[in-house]
Structure 1
Amino acid sequence: ERSYEYFLLVLLLLLLLLLLLLLLLLLLLLLPLLLLLILFIPSPTFASTIYLFLYVLLL
């Protein structure tokens, strides 16, 4: 029973690690895009920024 709990703990840690890696990947993908937004649109309106963000998420 003790090894079972240990196995669950390791599984949970692995899942958390995977989630963290996915978040990092998403951040790395979105970072250049945000930089492009900042560079190419000097004064963006709030709505257009949200629209672009949603458009990228849906691609």
Structure 2
Amino acid sequence: MHGADQDVEGAILLSPPLHRAKDADLERWAATGRPVTALVPELDDFLQPEEARERFAPLTQ
């Protein structure tokens, strides 16, 4: 959520808690063009893989 504001080359998110991130946060990160890799466990209690695909859709990089 805050990575787009930092001087980073990319991000790796492990079981990210997207309940706080808004669509605008993801769109802001997408606009940076920086790579992002999200690792979502198949049996995650908070974010299921299909929901993660939908939520991360704005991140086309």
What TM-score bracket applies, with the shorter chain setting the length?
Answer: under 0.3
Larger relative contact order (C-alpha < 8 A, sep ≥ 6)?
Answer: 2
Give 1 or 2: higher helix fraction: 1
Give 1 or 2: higher strand fraction: 2
TM-score (norm 2): 0.26
Report which of the two structures shows the higher radius of gyration computed on alpha carbons: 1
